Each structure stands twice: as structure tokens, then as C-alpha cells.
Amino acid sequence: MATWPLVPLTTVGSRFEAQVLVARLGADGIVATMRGGDSVYPLPGPVDVLVEAGRAPEARQLLLADEVEAVFGDDQRGQA
């Protein structure tokens, strides 16, 4: 369980996206949780991803690294 205080890391468009981010952060040992997206209907809506305040910079760096990798992909590795 996360320790307090929790701070917002990012807001995504659906509960599924938030679950993916929470799992990604958890894979690197960063405890995260979500807030929002609790509609009675299965409609997308904004969901906040929260992390422990002390781990927020590390979590932001991890998500940034993932975004960079998504843009450049594996074909760019080892090329100068």
C-alpha cells in the first residue's frame, strides 16, 4: 500500500490506460494508485494516476523514458 502523501503523476483518458500505467510503475517498484473513472457506465473518462510524493520524480523520469523509447523504438539502438 502507498504511504501518504500521494501526488498526481498524470491524468489519462480511461481506467484501462491508468491500470496499464499503475502496472508499469509497479514493475519498477513504484507504488501507484488511481482516482476517478468510476462511472456506472463503461465510458472513458479522466483518471488520475497518483504516486508517493517522494517517488514522483523517479516515476516521471520512468514515464518519459518509456515515451522516448516508444518514439524511437528498438531500431534506433546502437546507431549513432
pLDDT digits over 49-67, tens only? Answer: 999 999 999 999 999 999 8
What's the CATH number for 6-72?
3.30.70.1530
Stronger pLDDT, 37 or 76, i.e. the higher one: 37
CA–CA gap between residue 67 and residue 72 (Å, rounded): 9
User: Apex CA 47: angle with CA 44 and CA 52, to 5°?
Assistant: 160
> pLDDT grade, residue 44 (50/70/90)?
confident
CA–CA gap between residue 67 and residue 80 (Å, rounded): 20
**Which grid cell sits at 9?**
503523476
Mean pLDDT of 23-43: 86
- What residues does each domain of the chain span? 6-72
pLDDT digits over 5-32, tens only? Answer: 999 999 999 888 999 999 999 999 999 9
